[in-house]
Amino acid sequence: MGLVTKDSVVLAADMRASMGHLAYDEEVNKIYKIADNVALTIAGSVGDALTLVRFLRSHAKLFEIERETKITPKAIATFASNILNSNRFYPFYVQFIIGGINQKPELFDVDPSGGLLERKQFAVTGSGTELAMSVLDQNYNENLSTEQGIELAVRAVKASKKRDIYSGGIAVKVTVIDKNGVKETQQN
């Protein structure tokens, strides 16, 4: 999940990888840094997601070298959307939440067929969506500090971990993107 605070974007995810009805791994990373000002969460097929993460990282680096400026979160989200849409008959089974800083915090939701939505408050993907959204719907406000955003994001993911059999893991992974860059932490 991702949410927008006054000064940052907070991304959070559980750490369970499932394979069918099996909890396959409890220490999986589902948040990836794409550039110094952009990161994303993954839901869906790990192989598809990691292939696209590598592609997005290389595109971001090439963009920055060619243009001598940072790529924007919207540019990464649009590029991911175009890739997913062009492959919809042989799709990548993945959904991304892309967040970062341009002039202000920005958050985008990219679905498996390339649908692209800008989110002004929060976005949630994966099997625990309904559980996390209920926590966010009840507690989100536009004036959250980064620390309050982290606390709310962790509560939303923990709600999913408690009741959704496909969500879980040893902790909640949290990534904050602000004017100082991308910082990763883990909350128990």
Residue 52, domain CATH:
3.60.20.10
Predicted local distance difference test score (pLDDT) of residue 5: 98
CB-neighbour burial class of residue 12 (10 A; exposed 0-12, middle 13-18, buried 19+): buried
pLDDT in tens, 134-145: 999 999 999 999
Distances (CA, A) of 164 to 2, 23, 161: 18, 12, 6
Average confidence (pLDDT) per 10 residues, the chain, 188 residues: 98 94 93 98 94 97 96 97 87 94 97 95 96 97 97 97 93 97 92
Number of domains in the chain: 1
Give the residue among 117, 127, 120 at the shortest CA–CA distance from 157: 127
Predicted local distance difference test score (pLDDT) of residue 130: 95
Print the domain residue range for 12. Answer: 2-187
Angle CA(22)–CA(126)–CA(10) in degrees, nearest 5?
125
Predicted local distance difference test score (pLDDT) of residue 71: 97
pLDDT in tens, 143-153: 999 999 999 99
Task: Tell me if the pTM is above 0.85.
Answer: yes
Predicted local distance difference test score (pLDDT) of residue 87: 84
